[in-house]
Structure 1
Amino acid sequence: MQTVSSISLAGGQGKTTMVLFVARLLAAKGHTVLAIDADPQSSLTTFLGFTVEPDSPTLLEVLKKQVDTKDGIYETRYNNLFLIPSDDALDTVQDYLAGSGTGALTLGRRLKSVAKLFNYCIIDAPPQRSQISLTVIGASDGLMIPVEASVKGLQSLIRTLELINELKEEDETFGGRVLGVVPFRDRWVGLRRTTESESNIESMKQITSQWFEEDLVLPSIRESEKFKQAINRGLTLHEMGQEDLAYPIEVLVDKIYSLDGKHDKS
């Protein structure tokens, strides 16, 4: 099982949107996918149409090892797509992770018992530096970084890259690879990208070039109501006939395939 997380240290950067559409596309291609909602805001859980019942295990109980990992996994309404949900109680796990001494390794350890059941695990991380963010990154083979095409997004990108670098410096065994930086809410007027978006995306390229030897800024996710419509209707972008909007998601999926040497030939 390859584990990939969506991380960005600010709200509104497109983390959950990216996780949802990447996980659904992988599942639609026939892969068995485990989605994990590691954000106490629980947007991914909601988007997948799942309701956490009282006393039902969630990621909180899985992390604290109060239940076996498999007991925190639920089917969703989509074929091949399963979920470890969250609710706002997940915030209470921070002290547990901080006090364990190996909090950054906790999620990865919990996932080992179910690794043979899934092809891919896609994780939605919380939008701030926290013990939950650390354990999500620590469990990841690959990292997707969505960044709003705005000044706020650029600040989030810098903080996110700094956190990833700190983890690599502290733990030489950390092998999570940045798969790409994805501009989010890229604004266009007609056939032209706005000046603001153009400037901010160029700044993303300059920032990432200071950290990496390759260009990691991927095709952008345009600002469009079609994403909300797809989420509300429970459809993929392809099912809605929005192949152009789906292209950045396809690129991400191919980047995920590269983790184990595969290439999408479908």
Structure 2
Amino acid sequence: MQTISSISLAGGQGKTTVVLFLARFLAQQGHTVLVVDADPQSSLTTFLGFQVEPDSPTLLEVLKREVNPSDGIYETKYPNLFLIPSDDALDKVQDYLAGSGTGALTLKRRLKTVESLFHYCIVDAPPQRSQICLTVIGASDGLVIPVEASVKGLQSLIRTLELLGELKQEDEEFGGQILGIVPFRDRWVGLRRTNESQSNIESMQQITTDWFGQDLVLPSIRESEKFKQAINKGLTLHEMGQEDLAYPIEVLATAIEKLEGQKK
């Protein structure tokens, strides 16, 4: 099982959107996919139309070893797609992870018991530096960094890269390979990208070149109501006839397949 996490240290960067459409795309390709909602805001759980019932195990109970991981996994209404949900109680796990001594490896160890059941695991991380965020990074084979095409997005990108750099300094093997930066809410007017989006995406390219010696920016997710419509209708972009909007997700899926090939 390849574990891919979507991480950005600010809200509104497109983390959940990337996880949702990537997971559904991979599932439609015939892969068995587990999605993990590691954000206490639980947007991914909501977008998948899942209602957490009282006393039903969630990621909180899985991380605290109160249930077997398999007992916290639920079928979704989509073929090949399964979910470990969250709710706002997930915040309670912070102290547990901090006090365990190996909290950064907790999610990785919990997922290991179910890794033979799935081809991919896609994790939605919380939008802040926290114990939950660290354990998500620690479980990852690959990392995707969605970044809004705005000044706020650039600040989030820098903070995210700084965090990953700090973690790599402490342990080179901690966390996964950065698969790419995905610009989010890329604004276009007609056939032209706005000057603001163009400037911010060029800044992303320069930042990643300065950090890594290469441009890691992938094709952008355009600002469009079609994403919200697809979520509300429970459809993929392909099912809505929006193949052009789906292209960044396809490129990201290809990057994941290449990562898998490198691991073999």
The TM tier, using the shorter chain, reads over 0.9
Instruction: State the one-letter code of the partner of 1:126.
Output: P
Aligned-partner SS, 1:11: coil
> Which shows bigger deviation, 209-218 or 82-91?
209-218
In the alignment, does 2:11 pair up with 1:11? yes
CA deviation profile, 1:69-111 (whole Å, cap 9, x unmatched): 0000000000000000000000010000000111110000000
Matched, 1:84 2:84: yes
In the alignment, the residues of structure 2 paired with residue 126 and residue 117 of structure 1 have an alpha-carbon distance, to the nearest angstrom, of 25
Q: TM-score, normalised by structure 1?
A: 0.97
> What is the deviation of 1:174?
1.6
Q: 1:171: how far off?
A: 1.5
Match of residue 151 from structure 1: 151
What secondary structure does 1:30 align onto? coil
Q: 1-side partners of 2:175 and 2:160: how far apart?
A: 16
Q: Which residue of 1 aligns with 2:233?
A: 233
Mapped pair 1:62 → 2:62: yes
What one-letter code is carried by the residue in structure 1 that aligns with 2:149? A
Q: Distance in 2 between matches of 1:63 and 1:211?
A: 33
Residue 197 (1) aligns with residue 202 (2): no
Shift of 1:173: 2.5
Q: Normalising by the residue count of structure 2, what TM-score does the alignment of the two structures yield? A: 0.98
Between the aligned residues of both structures, percent identity stands at 82
Q: Secondary structure at the match of 1:182?
A: strand
Q: AA paired with 1:169? A: Q
1:253 maps to 2:248? no
> Which residue matches 1:176?
176
Aligned equivalents of 1:175, 1:87: Cα separation in 2: 25
- The Cα shift of 1:4 comes to 0.2
Is the Cα contact below 8 Å between 2:126 and 2:132 reproduced in 1?
yes
Residue aligning to 2:105: 105
**Separation in structure 1 between the aligned mates of residue 144 and residue 31 of structure 2, nearest angstrom:** 19
Question: Hey, what's the Cα distance between the residues in 2 that align with 1:25 and 1:110?
Answer: 25
Residue 43 of structure 1 aligns with an amino acid whose one-letter code is S
- Structure 1 residue 175: Cα displacement: 4.8
Q: Partner of 2:41 in structure 1?
A: 41
Q: Deviations over 1:112-170 (max 9, x none)?
A: 00000000000000000000000000000000000000000000000000111111111
- Structure 2 partner of 1:115: 115
Question: Number of paired residues?
Answer: 262
Q: 2: CA distance between counterparts of 1:166 and 1:100?
A: 21
Unpaired stretches in structure 1, ≥5 consecutive residues: none
Asked if 1 retains the 8 angstrom alpha-carbon contact of 2:38 and 2:124, the reply is yes
Task: Name the CA distance, whole Å, in 2 between partners of 1:244 and 1:21.
Answer: 14
AA partner of residue 37 (structure 2): D
Structure 2 residues without counterparts, runs of 5 or longer: none
How far apart, in 1, do the equivalents of 2:215 and 2:261 lie?
20
Deviation at 1:210, TM superposition (A): 1.2
Separation in 1, partners of 2:76, 2:31: 14
**RMSD of aligned residue pairs (Cα, Å):** 0.8
Separation in 1, partners of 2:134, 2:175:
13
